[in-house]
Amino acid sequence: MKLFKTFFLLLMTILVCGCDSKIDLSPKKIHWDRDMCERCKMVLSDRKFSAQVINPDNGKNYVFDDIGCVILWFQENSIAWKEHAVIWVNDAKTGEWIDARKAFYDVANITPMAYGFGAHVKSEDIKEGQEIIDFEEVSRRVIKIGK
């Protein structure tokens, strides 16, 4: 009987602790010049144009050297959770992580995979006269290019 009580207490402790766990959706630390892009397997080295995707169901993190690789990876692998994925990109001006879906993009950058899209937290950070597009338009253009 004592063994049963101990087992029951242990089981209840595990269940209670398990209910409190929260999935971390914040950007993870990148090991520059060591971490490899999930899609093209190139090493991440450009601190202004990389991206991260986090599966919101389990917190698994995937890193990419260019936002174009993210878009094509979603498409090529039929990622079921892509609409709910948390996507972080580097701000092309500061290098800070920003929400890819809320970012403003310019189209005239030299990026690791030559897609050319630079993310910005504010549209004012994009030079006057340059085209400004949103994440959905970036996605359309990358799929159209389809490298």
Task: Please tell me the predicted confidence (pLDDT) of residue 2.
Answer: 67
d(CA 101, CA 104): 9
Length of the chain: 147
Q: Give domain limits for the chain.
A: 25-145
Helix (H) or strand (E) holding 138: helix 135-145
Average pLDDT over residues 68-78: 96
Q: DSSP labels for 21-65? A: -----SPPPP-TTTSB-TTT-PBP--TTS-EEEE-TTT--EEEES
Average pLDDT over residues 6-30: 73
Task: Please tell me the predicted confidence (pLDDT) of residue 22.
Answer: 87
